[in-house]
Amino acid sequence: MRRYSILILLLLVFSLVFSSVVVAEGNYGGEFTGFSSTDPKSLDPAALGSWDQAVMAANVLEGLARLSPSGQSIEPGIAKSWEVSDDGLVWTFDLREDAYFHNDENITAEDVKYSFERVINPETRSPQAWLFNKVVGYSEMRNGEAAEVSGIRVADDYTLEIELVEPLTPFVSMLASPGAAVVSKTAVEEYGDQFGQNVVSAGPFKLTNWEQNLELEMSAFEDYWAGRPYLDTLKFRFIHDENTRIIELLSGNIDWAWVTPAHHQGLTNNSVYKDSIYRVNTLHVAYFIVNMNEGPFGNNLKLRQAISYALNRESVIDSLQGRANRAIGIFPPGFMGHDQKATAYEYNPEKAKELLAEAGYPDGLPETYTVISLPWANLIKILEIYQQNLRDVGINIELKPVQQGEYMSMIGEGNFDLAYGYRVADYADPDSFVYPLLHSDSIDGGGNVAFYSNDKIDNLIEEGRLETDEQERKNIYEEINNMVQEELPYISTTHNIWVDVMNPDVRNWQPSAMDIHMFHRVWLAE
């Protein structure tokens, strides 16, 4: 009985919240046209590989939990609530009874199990399978020893239990990824190879039209559990050229564009658009990667410190028109783990020279070292500033921009002394930075591209995955961040700020820190 009263209370609160939201906000209807740089080719959650896909996919797909519009936290999705057993191993998800697929089928725990196993199934070849690698029975299914995952259990139609091999607090953040969305089994079977282009899931919008390499059209899903979106139609046009997007926006053909550096000043002074420019700190960090296995930098902390002191991050931020935050470690400002008190390495060329001398190189490093990076023009401009900074203190580097495929191979094989790279969080939790970048299990293909191994950090990362108390977790991630700043396997530089511009009629827009922008609550003034 007590459980019921709590439920009723919750329902009351929810209905109050939602009704007030509906009353306070505006118009239903209208069409919004956004952009994507390329055709996503497939929106099958199991086939998602790149950011471009996720931006569109997140509006069509829905899983047990979903990302908040700000991108910084997790909201209930098809599961209206969940609880974790005391040992942190068994997660019980309580599903909504009024959640439907786009083909009007009611969603049950069986559908969720099917969708997760489909991603794990090695025959699906999904790049998203790693999301479930801590679930009991994952390895057995991957190895072909089992036809289902024993740790994913249907308790009743609307209750799903997931058992993990070890406690993992960020698990629910992972489940909010588009890759963990639920899909309709009947639709998967009906469309076969074409499912990616005809996805049937449970997000606020459903796919209605897709013109190859041209545009993708979604329309409001009337039976979305949280109420239909305000917009009738959401379109994404595939426009690769950044400049063309701005021209399209100015001529009124699209409603949203990423603000290019070249147009930044013009738009912020433009009387029509100056109040429709939005900024958000993204879950992104850029850094020099040090190969900790070999080379002079990996073996010599003083050299790494010298590099960090030599970098004039402020001048780079100026060159970016202020569209970046200075990094002190790996977590962006406003995100758990960010700590202003960590060693900041303020720009100090004299100190860098001293450190070089202490490291045994009073006249600077005799050799020139190659820094590999991606070949983007904007990135190279930044690296040229750092190159000059380093030259000023006696460290000569040569920039070697390579295409993405080659870059990934060279980094993965440890074929470098220094490299420049970045990481964007895969899920909204500090674990998404530290586990891939720093845990020794992530060496060799998991994202620990510095080949850094430190038992103490491994233990802290595991503690962070276990801990459920927010404040305790904050302490853990701050400590990890401090250690990174002391050891410098990654010499962090800046965090990106996303800047976009909207048609001034667009209301309730909030760009996402995860670059996964949600349009459910966006509406249009007259």
The secondary structure of residue 350, as a DSSP letter, is: H
List 87, 166, 241, 398, residue binding other proteins (CB under 8 A): 241
Amino acid at 132: F
The values of phi and psi at residue 481, to 5°, are: -60, -40
List 402, 440, 482, 508, residue binding other proteins (CB under 8 A): 402
DSSP strand pairing (233-238 vs 31-36): parallel
400 binds other proteins (CB under 8 A): no
Cα(29)–Cα(70) distance, integer angstroms: 23
- Residue 137: left if φ>0, alpha if ψ -120 to 50, beta else—which one? left
238 binds other proteins (CB under 8 A): yes
Binding mask 416-435 toward other proteins (x if CB under 8 A, else -) reads: ----------x---------
- In the complex, least distance from residue 49 CB atom to other proteins, rounded to whole angstroms: 5
Pick 436 or 489: Cβ nearer other proteins: 436
- In the complex, least distance from residue 282 CB atom to other proteins, rounded to whole angstroms: 17
Choose one: 67-75, 94-102, 124-132, 293-301; the region binding other proteins (CB under 8 A): 124-132
> CB within 8 A of 180, min separation 6: which ones?
45, 63, 64, 115, 116, 119, 128, 131, 132, 174
293 binds other proteins (CB under 8 A): no
List 193, 363, 455, 526, residue binding other proteins (CB under 8 A): 193
For residues 497, 57, 335 and 18, what is the CA-based torsion angle, rounded to 10 degrees?
Answer: 110
List 92, 159, 197, 319, residue binding other proteins (CB under 8 A): 197
- In the complex, least distance from residue 370 CB atom to other proteins, rounded to whole angstroms: 15
253 binds other proteins (CB under 8 A): yes
Q: How many chain residues bind other proteins (CB under 8 A)?
A: 49
- In the complex, least distance from residue 67 CB atom to other proteins, rounded to whole angstroms: 17
The values of phi and psi at residue 343, to 5°, are: -55, 120
3-class DSSP state of 250 = helix
129 binds other proteins (CB under 8 A): yes
The secondary structure of residue 193, as a DSSP letter, is: G
Pick 263 or 304: Cβ nearer other proteins: 263
State which of positions 445-504 bind other proteins (CB under 8 A).
445-447
- In the complex, least distance from residue 369 CB atom to other proteins, rounded to whole angstroms: 20
List 398, 444, 469, 470, residue binding other proteins (CB under 8 A): 444
Query: Minimal CA–CA distance to 488: which of 241, 335, 281, 309?
Result: 309
Cα(97)–Cα(105) distance, integer angstroms: 11
List 89, 146, 247, 359, residue binding other proteins (CB under 8 A): 247
Cα(382)–Cα(309) distance, integer angstroms: 16
Chain length of the chain? 526
Choose one: 90-98, 193-201, 330-338, 392-400; the region binding other proteins (CB under 8 A): 193-201
DSSP strand pairing (284-290 vs 490-492): antiparallel
State both tokens at 412.
């993965």
Binding mask 37-76 toward other proteins (x if CB under 8 A, else -) reads: -xx-xx----x-xx--------------------------
Pick 86 or 413: Cβ nearer other proteins: 413
3-class DSSP state of 458 = helix
CA distances to 297, 307, 380, 452, 487 from 327, in Å? 20, 14, 19, 20, 15
212 binds other proteins (CB under 8 A): yes
3-class DSSP state of 370 = strand
- In the complex, least distance from residue 156 CB atom to other proteins, rounded to whole angstroms: 33
DSSP strand pairing (152-156 vs 205-211): unpaired
Choose one: 82-90, 102-110, 245-253, 516-524; the region binding other proteins (CB under 8 A): 245-253
214 binds other proteins (CB under 8 A): yes
- In the complex, least distance from residue 187 CB atom to other proteins, rounded to whole angstroms: 16
- In the complex, least distance from residue 393 CB atom to other proteins, rounded to whole angstroms: 32
Q: Return the number of other C-beta atoms located less than 10 Å from residue 192's C-beta.
A: 8
The values of phi and psi at residue 440, to 5°, are: -70, -20
375 binds other proteins (CB under 8 A): no
Tokens 């199934």 belong to 121
Q: Please name every residue paired with 90 in a beta bridge, in sequence order, or none if there are none.
A: 163
State both tokens at 508.
């309730």
State which of positions 133-152 bind other proteins (CB under 8 A).
133, 142
196 binds other proteins (CB under 8 A): yes
Cα(526)–Cα(521) distance, integer angstroms: 16
237 binds other proteins (CB under 8 A): yes
What is the binding site for other proteins (CB under 8 A)?
38-39, 41-42, 47, 49-50, 122, 125, 127, 129-130, 133, 142, 193-194, 196-197, 211-214, 237-241, 243-244, 247-248, 250-251, 253, 402-409, 412, 426, 436, 444-447
